[in-house]
Amino acid sequence: MSSISVGQENSGSIDLYYEDHGKGKPVVLIHGWPLSGASWEKQVAALLPAGHRVIAYDRRGFGRSSQPSTGYDYDTFAEDLHKVVTKLDLRDFALVGFSMGGGEVARYIGTYGSKLVSKAVFIASVPPMLLKTADNPEGVDGSVFEGIKKAIAADRPAFLTAFFNNFYNVDVLGGKRISDEVVRYSWNVGVAASGKASLDCVATWGTDFRKDLSRIDVPTLVIHGDADRITPLAATAARTHKAVKGARLLVVEGGPHGLTATHADKVNPELVDFLK
């Protein structure tokens, strides 16, 4: 099992599990909530034969990484990513973030710059800012996040069942573009995550990435489904596209939040073409 130590909590090391496969130009894949690096299965299958070295790691608290009680904020997440990049001595690498992972892409470049980064990809991602405020009227009302926190605290497994139904738009795509088994697998991965991490991460979804996006100066691709019920297109991708100079926006018709699974046939060719 490959892991990188990113810190310490009391007597235990905080380790991030990662997989590092293939040869060629590096691509770092950063997963969404509450999944793990395994959620990139269909993209890894496309990137490896395209000649890439593919690195996918599990965020702290999720997948096979350590489950500490602290560090669930984007400054720490970006620092964790920086430690992965440094440990693996990556150069000229692309960053690809899905959902929450898009926050790491933005905060990493906003904090550490783009000297070593070749390209950036945001897929169904949370930037620029999901929380509705006086200067961010396009965001989502804070009461929505509070309701999610209460539902997780009350019955996290039950919440995840409803969440994944909307994650994949099962009522529309079930039995067509997504199987019951994939939905069940996602639930199993999600419920195995740290309860503390699962709850604490909800607060991060309202993080302001607007300054981070303004510092992105590498070729950028934004991919989003127009049927995304988790991170609505108008509040996220449409604005990220405008915020990053020269960014390209690909809107996948009928794509739900989990379009990397349901619409891999649309996402993968665009991703491979952009990264080549």
| Residue of 110, 125, 132 lying closest to 250 (CA atoms) | 125
pLDDT (mean) for 174-195: 98
pLDDT for residue 31 is more than 80: yes
Residues 6 or more apart from 272 whose CB is under 8 A from it? 46, 47, 50
Range of the domain at 157: 3-275
Give the pLDDT score at 187: 98
Provide the strand spans (E) within the chain.
3-9, 12-21, 25-30, 52-57, 93-98, 117-123, 220-225, 248-252
Question: How many structural domains comprise the chain?
Answer: 1
Residues in the chain: 276
Please state whether the predicted TM-score (pTM) of the whole model is above 0.75: yes
pLDDT tens sequence across 33-71: 999 999 999 999 999 999 999 999 999 999 999 999 999
Q: Which residues pair with 121 in a beta bridge?
A: 96, 221
CB 231 within 8 A of CB 257: yes
Q: The domain that contains 241 carries what CATH number?
A: 3.40.50.1820
Give the pLDDT score at 83: 98
Model confidence band, residue 244 (pLDDT cutoffs 50, 70, 90): very high
Supply the angle between the helices 142-167 and 195-204 in degrees, to the nearest 10. Answer: 120
Model confidence band, residue 265 (pLDDT cutoffs 50, 70, 90): very high
Give the pLDDT score at 174: 98
pLDDT tens sequence across 82-132: 999 999 999 999 999 999 999 999 999 999 999 999 999 999 999 999 999
3-state DSSP percent of the chain in helix, strand and coil, to 5? 45, 20, 35
CB 198 within 8 A of CB 98: no
pLDDT tens sequence across 194-216: 999 999 999 999 999 999 999 99
Residues with catalytic function: 99, 228, 257
Give the pLDDT score at 65: 98
